[in-house]
Chains A and B, each alone.
Chain A
Amino acid sequence: MGIKQAFSLALKSLMTSKMRSFLTMLGIIIGVAAVIILVSLVNGFKSDMLTTFEDMGLNLINVNIFARGSNRQVDVEDMYEFAEENSDYIEYISPTVTVQAAPKFGTDTAESTSITGVNEDYVYIQNYELTSGRFLQYMDVQTRQKSCVIGSYLAEEYFDGNPVGQSFKINGSQFDVVGVLEEQADSTEGSADDCIYIPYTLARTLSRMGTVSSYIVYARDKELVDPTITLIKNYLYGIFSSDSAYRVMALAQIVDTVNELMGTLTVILVGIAGISLLVGGIGIMNIMLVSVTERTREIGIRKSIGAKRSAIMSQFVVEAATTSAIGGIIGIVLGIVASIVVCRLMGIGVSISVLSIIVAFGVSAGIGIMFGYFPASKASKLNPIEALRHD
Chain B
Amino acid sequence: MIELKDIYKIYGDGEGEIRALDGVSLNISGGEFVAIVGQSGSGKSTCMNIIGCLDVPTSGTYRLNGTDVSTMKDDELAAVRNKMIGFIFQQYNLIPKLTVKENVELPLIYRGMPAKERAKRAMEALEMVGLADRCTKMPSMLSGGQQQRVSIARALAGNPSLLLADEPTGALDSKTGREVLEFLKKLNEQGNTIVMITHDNEIAKEAKRIVRIQDGKIISDEKGRE
A residues with a Cβ closer than 8 A to B are 1, 5, 12-13, 16, 297-298, 300-311, 384-385, 388
Q: Tell whether, in the assembled complex, residue B97 and residue A13 are in contact, meaning their CB atoms are under 8 Å apart.
A: yes
Closest to B97 in A: A16
Which residues of the other chain, B, contact A301 by a CB distance below 8 angstroms?
Answer: 93-95
Known: A5-B109, A385-B49. A306 touches B97 (CB 8 A): no
Tell me if A305 and B154 are in contact (CB < 8 A). Answer: yes
Minimum distance in angstroms from A381 CB to a CB of chain B:
8
Q: What string of 1s and 0s marks CB contacts (under 8 Å) between B90-132 and chain A?
A: 0001110100000000110111100000000000000000000
Complex CA–CA separation, A307 to B106 (angstroms): 9
Nearest-neighbour CB distance to chain A for B76, whole angstroms, equals 9
Instruction: Name 7 interchain pairs, CB-CB below 8 A, sorted by A.
Output: A1-B112, A298-B95, A304-B52, A305-B158, A308-B75, A308-B78, A309-B78
When chains A and B are docked, how far (Å) is the Cα of A309 from the Cα of B79?
11
Interface residues of A, dominant DSSP = helix
Are A306's CB and B78's CB within 8 A? yes
Extra contacts, 18 of them, besides A302-B106, A309-B78 (Cβ < 8 A), are A13-B97, A16-B97, A301-B95, A304-B87, A305-B82, A305-B87, A305-B107, A305-B158, A306-B79, A306-B82, A306-B83, A306-B107, A307-B78, A308-B78, A308-B79, A310-B75, A384-B54, A388-B89
- A290 to chain B minimum Cβ distance, whole angstroms, is 16
Q: What residues of B have a CB within 8 angstroms of the CB of A385 in the complex?
A: 49, 54-55
**How far apart sit A13 and B96, CA to CA, in the bound complex (Å)?**
11
Q: Which B residues lie at the A interface, using CB under 8 A?
A: 49, 52, 54-55, 74-75, 78-79, 81-83, 87, 89, 93-95, 97, 106-107, 109-112, 154, 158
With A384-B54, A385-B55 already in contact, the answer to whether A309 and B75 are too (CB < 8 A) is: yes
* Cα of A311 to Cα of B112 in the assembled complex, Å: 11
A27–B89 alpha-carbon span in the complex (Å): 41
Q: Is the CB of B79 within 8 A of A12?
A: no
Bound Cα distance A1, B83 (Å)? 15
The residue on B at minimum CB distance from A306 is: B82
The docked-state distance in angstroms from the alpha carbon of A304 to that of B94 is: 12
Task: Find out whether the CB atom of A306 lies under 8 angstroms from the CB atom of B95.
Answer: no
Contact status A305-B97, CB under 8 Å: no
Which residues from B are CB-within-8-Å of A306? 78-79, 81-83, 107, 110-111, 158
Would B106 and A305 count as touching, CB distance under 8 A?
yes
Inter-chain contacts of A310 with B (CB < 8 A): 75
Q: Which residues of B contact A305 (CB under 8 A)?
A: 81-82, 87, 106-107, 110, 154, 158
The closest CB in chain A to the CB of B106 belongs to A305
**Cβ-closest 10 pairs across A and B:** A306-B82, A305-B107, A306-B110, A308-B75, A301-B93, A306-B81, A308-B78, A307-B110, A384-B54, A306-B78
